[in-house]
Amino acid sequence: MSTDYFVQAKKVIPGGVNSPVRAFGSVGGTPVFIASASGSKVTSQDGRVFTDYVGSWGPMILGHADKRVVSRVRRAAERGLSFGAPTIGETELAELICSLVPSIERVRMVSSGTEATMSAIRLARGYTDRPLLLKFTGCYHGHADALLIKAGSGALTLGIPGSAGVPAGAAQDTLTCDFNDVDGLREVFAKYGDRIACIIAEPIAGNMNMIFPTPEFLGVMRELCDQHNSVLIFDEVMTGFRVALGGAQSVYGITPDLTTLGKVVGGGMPVGAFGGRRNIMEHVAPLGPVYQAGTLSGNPLGMAAGIETLTHIQAPDFYSDLENMASRLVNGFKDAAAQHGVPLQAHCMGGMFGVFFSDEDNINSYAKVTRCNLEHFKQFFRGMLERGQYFAPSAYEAGFISGAHTKADVDGTIEAAKSVFATF
């Protein structure tokens, strides 16, 4: 049973997990240990099968163990696991990224989303010769020291506003503002604008659940960065190739200077990337003075998975089909909740969705997210898990639909939700 596996893991791994939110700390119970996955399903070590709405936290947009991706990765593995030298796969994936995201003229491969955001911020500081970065409360950009200030995701789930081990010096150059607070954003720039190297923002926040920007919020970011010669970084580690083929920036029509990517870009392998305007990217070594390196950057297995994934998500109607399926799910949840008098809000874009246990309309801020009913979420999570439905074990995480999810999958999930809401 999972309890036994968890006990064993805790003897050799801190907390029994290699990423904190996996420990089920905010929902109670024992984490599910996964043995295998295929399509829309994951199978636990003790043989239980679940319809999966975590998707490895976003990357599995084609579904688990997609045969085309696995086949390409297998062929790459047979040629060698790592070289620490250039391969044509790196160029091919870079060309795909640049063709699909027009704001990216040059791109550098790394091994994780955290590495991508850390590197993009260093580049912005090196390019502008300024110290300050501005981020938004509840937004998570990886676990680099300067970014663990009022973070979302696991830090928010655990109720930790920062992290022990982050020195004051690492935090003193990080400014924070509330997501969607245009007036606050203007005030920060009025005071510090000539020292701000960059804004880093999730264009759609996905680490305090799924929060859409207001119509003017992203535009004001662009306007202020232009006025003050600051760099606008869109963290699309989660939204890139997930909400739309060109990412959230293509949906909202706002062009960042730099973009960070991860998750889908590696097709399930540990891959990240950062890229943007040519004149900024040429400040990266070996062309420029901003140092960034990684032995496993551009790993051939990761490049193979990314190339195959980005190739197939360009299929006609892929994203409309994905969003139709996500809409079917969230609308089903809202109808089921209404039948049983459970306050619930839900929305989606592309293959990403958010569910909030709240009677507040238009949940678009950190404050509103933290007012949601966490006890209702816990009851929902545990009830759905018992009924074979696997959701993120945190009220502050978005959910994900893949191209492998079927109407039968989604309708079965809605029926399970009806059963759970009947117990509230």
pLDDT in tens, 321-377: 999 999 999 999 999 999 999 999 999 999 999 999 999 989 999 999 999 999 999
pLDDT band at 143 (very low <50, low <70, confident <90, very high): confident
Instruction: Kindly report the pTM of this predicted structure.
Output: 0.94
Spatial separation of the C-alpha atoms in residues 372 and 344, rounded to whole Å: 9
Q: Catalytic amino acids?
A: 140, 235, 263
pLDDT(157) > 60? no
Give the pLDDT confidence score for residue 165 in this predicted structure. Answer: 67
Supply the CATH classification number for the domain 67-312.
Answer: 3.40.640.10
pLDDT band at 154 (very low <50, low <70, confident <90, very high): very low
Q: What is the sign of the dihedral through the CA atoms of 181, 330, 65 and 395?
A: positive
pLDDT in tens, 365-397: 999 999 999 999 999 999 999 999 999 999 999
pLDDT(159) > 50? no
pLDDT in tens, 9-28: 999 999 999 888 888 888 98
In sequence order, which ranges of 101-194 are alpha helices (DSSP H)?
Answer: 113-128, 153-157, 168-171, 182-192
Which structure tokens are listed for 307? 């190339």
| 147 or 276: which leads in pLDDT | 276
Residue pair 131/265 in contact (Cβ under 8 Å)? The answer is no
pLDDT(156) > 50? no
pLDDT band at 160 (very low <50, low <70, confident <90, very high): very low
Give the pLDDT confidence score for residue 145 in this predicted structure. Answer: 66
Q: Mean pLDDT, the chain, as a whole number?
A: 93
pLDDT(158) > 80? no
Q: For tokens 């966490």, name the residue.
A: 374
Spatial separation of the C-alpha atoms in residues 142 and 13, rounded to whole Å: 21
What share of residues in the chain are helix, strand, coil (percent, to 5)? 40, 15, 40
Give the pLDDT confidence score for residue 163 in this predicted structure. Answer: 63
In the chain, % of residues over pLDDT 70:
94
Give the pLDDT confidence score for residue 424 in this predicted structure. Answer: 95
pLDDT(30) > 50? yes
Which structure tokens are listed for 344? 């619930």
Give the pLDDT confidence score for residue 146 in this predicted structure. Answer: 67
pLDDT in tens, 112-122: 999 999 999 99
Give the pLDDT confidence score for residue 58 in this predicted structure. Answer: 96
Cα 256 to chain centroid, rounded: 18
Q: Where are the domains of the chain?
A: 2-61+316-421, 67-312
Residue pair 128/283 in contact (Cβ under 8 Å)? The answer is no
pLDDT in tens, 252-311: 999 999 999 999 999 999 999 999 999 999 999 999 999 999 999 999 999 999 999 999
- 391-419 mean pLDDT: 97
Give the pLDDT confidence score for residue 26 in this predicted structure. Answer: 85
pLDDT band at 3 (very low <50, low <70, confident <90, very high): confident
Q: Of 47, 23, 18, whose CA–CA distance to 35 is shortest? A: 47
pLDDT(161) > 50? no
Kind and range of the H or E run holding 99: helix 88-100
What is the CATH class of 2-61+316-421?
A: alpha beta
pLDDT in tens, 46-91: 999 999 999 999 999 999 999 999 999 999 999 999 999 999 999 9
pLDDT band at 140 (very low <50, low <70, confident <90, very high): confident
Give the pLDDT confidence score for residue 61 in this predicted structure. Answer: 98
